[in-house]
Amino acid sequence: MTTIADLSRQMPDTSGINFYTADPDLSYHMRQSLSTEDFERAQGILSRMGEVASQRMDELAQVANRQGPVLIQYDKRGQRIDRVVFHPAYHELERIAYEDFAIAACTHREGALGWPGKVPQQVKFALGYLGMQAEAGVFCPVSMTDALARVLERHASEPFRRRFLPALTAMKMDELKQGAMFLTEKQGGSDVGLTATIARPRPGENFADDTLQPQWELWGDKWFCSNVSADLILTLARPEGAPAGTRGLGLFLVPRTLDDGTRNAYTINRLKDKLGTRSLATGEVTLHGAQAYLVGNLERGFVQMTEMINLTRIWAAFGSLAAMRRSFLEALTYTRERVAFGRPLAEHPLMRRQLVDLLIEVEGCAALAFETVAVLERVDRHGVEEDRRLLRILTPLSKYYIPKRGEYVTIEALEMLGGNGYIEEWANPRLLRDAIVNVVWEGSSNVIVLDVARAMAREGVDAALFAMLKNRLQALQNAVVVPVAQEVLTQIHHVSERVRSLPTLNEESAQLPLRGLVERMAQLTIITLLLE
């Protein structure tokens, strides 16, 4: 008779495996980019998250994704309430992310997680990486709350920051105000310049100089609104009479609830029925003169907004990286134990080859992602121009390349579990579904590639990248890697020549090789980092 022990040997999964202690590559990245003291400090926190993610969060995620949010539009007296109701499992996931691990707050607030000062970006993203191996949905609001705080830190006035940042970075659920960004409209997600939402100064009020009052009201429709029940929403709208395109857009903060406790004037029309991130409430919203605060400079709304988008782009890359790593771990665990044709699957040459391929994909993408956040941390701490330019290119490279590889790795790993990989009770279907969205949101692939092209043309960021790669390759001394490094240097030369030739082409033709070039730049960065 087959016992339970036999069955779990025949069909093993990762339960009980600490996602952090089982991941030497992650601790390598932490050791590489943190000071010795910070590395030591991070150990306990990451190990705790590794354990919570692999067990508690994973169980909660299964429930929260199966029993997703529901929109209640009216109360029993027929009054419009637009309340989003989540399964308690989702609230518990929120509590773990915001309270236990302070992920949205820790890089903004001194002393979070017992850290002296602010937690380094690398540690925050490592926490997210581990958490997202269990659950993707709840990390969309976490990332937007984190990114909204960043926008306010950089672009809002001191009194404005004092007013909103404490709640955005609160580490208790009953004090927390979560963030969201409602940008996409029906006629344009990528082409934000088409934004049709109108901003009007609120009539009849006398608070022209008081920026702590919602001086504006917004009218329009927003078509994709994740974390739709958020407390504070960043959005773009065009003041009447402002020019067309992104230049005419102002950046506004819309509170869900007004100071007098009443609902702000917007409705949630429905929730989206999505392929993935099913625990997350993504809605469609109409702003009916919603009261809004102006953030920063009215003429620089879009530029200020990019601060948020660039951070959420890094979060999107980490979302896919997490799905890749978890998929790989599931495949490795499964194939090591499951026996076919007289030996464990993982010992068959074809399967071994597949595992090694996936491991290289995961570790390559992890190298790119953690390099990006190490540079982000340097930019935040020291603000050196060269690092800023590096970050400007590493962010879209990560956002383009990692989610694309995520599609491949999550499908490949699913197949390695055979039929079980296709079944909802196993982690793979959810990992696959949740990974795909990272290709689409925060700018789809073509849009990201065009962003890289813009940054190269306007800011010469390719030169910063190639110089960094060359320096690192030339510093390598190991006899085995030096010839490979030489080959990579030659490839870098070819790619930089091709980039330099782009301005000689007409505008349309210059776009044709871009995807290939961006992919190549990401790969050359990864190879350089792996050689180290």
List interacting residues with ligand FAD (CB under 6 A). Answer: 181-184, 188-191, 224-226, 274, 277, 282, 437, 440-441, 443-447, 450
- Minimum distance of ligand FAD from residue 456's CB (angstroms): 16
What is the C-alpha to C-alpha distance for residues 297 and 306, in angstroms, rounded to an integer? 14
Whole-angstrom Cα Rg for the chain:
24
Using alpha carbons only, what angle is made at residue 71 by residues 68 and 76, rounded to the nearest 5 degrees? 135
Query: Residue 421 carries which side chain, given as an amino acid letter?
Result: G
> If you ran DSSP here, which 8-state letter would residue 476 be given?
-
- How far CA 336 is from CA of 26, 331, 514, in Å, comes to 21, 8, 40
- Minimum distance of ligand FAD from residue 364's CB (angstroms): 24
- Minimum distance of ligand FAD from residue 94's CB (angstroms): 17
Smaller CB distance to ligand FAD: residue 440 or 489? 440
Smaller CB distance to ligand FAD: residue 120 or 248? 248
CB-count exposure of residue 35 (10 Å: 0-12, 13-18, 19+): exposed
- Minimum distance of ligand FAD from residue 447's CB (angstroms): 5
Going by C-alpha positions, the residue among 195, 231, 235, 218 that lies closest to residue 291 is 218
What is the C-alpha to C-alpha distance for residues 491 and 493, in angstroms, rounded to an integer? 5
SS3 287: strand
Smaller CB distance to ligand FAD: residue 450 or 481? 450
Going by C-alpha positions, the residue among 187, 216, 376, 349 that lies closest to residue 292 is 216
- Minimum distance of ligand FAD from residue 308's CB (angstroms): 10
What is the C-alpha to C-alpha distance for residues 220 and 74, in angstroms, rounded to an integer? 21
Strand partners, 257: 263
SS3 157: coil
Contact 317, 367 (CB under 8 A): no
- Minimum distance of ligand FAD from residue 139's CB (angstroms): 13
Distance of CA 211 to the CA centre of its chain: 31
- Minimum distance of ligand FAD from residue 182's CB (angstroms): 6
Closest residue (Cβ) to ligand FAD?
189
- Minimum distance of ligand FAD from residue 312's CB (angstroms): 9
Q: Could you tell me which residues come within 8 angstroms of residue 341 by beta carbon, excluding any fewer than 6 positions away? A: 348
Smaller CB distance to ligand FAD: residue 260 or 508? 508
- Minimum distance of ligand FAD from residue 505's CB (angstroms): 16
Smaller CB distance to ligand FAD: residue 68 or 421? 68
Smaller CB distance to ligand FAD: residue 351 or 435? 435
Smaller CB distance to ligand FAD: residue 22 or 450? 450
Smaller CB distance to ligand FAD: residue 183 or 521? 183
Element (H, E) at 312: helix 301-337
> Which tokens in the block code for residue 134?
């269990």
Smaller CB distance to ligand FAD: residue 169 or 438? 438
Contact 410, 330 (CB under 8 A): no
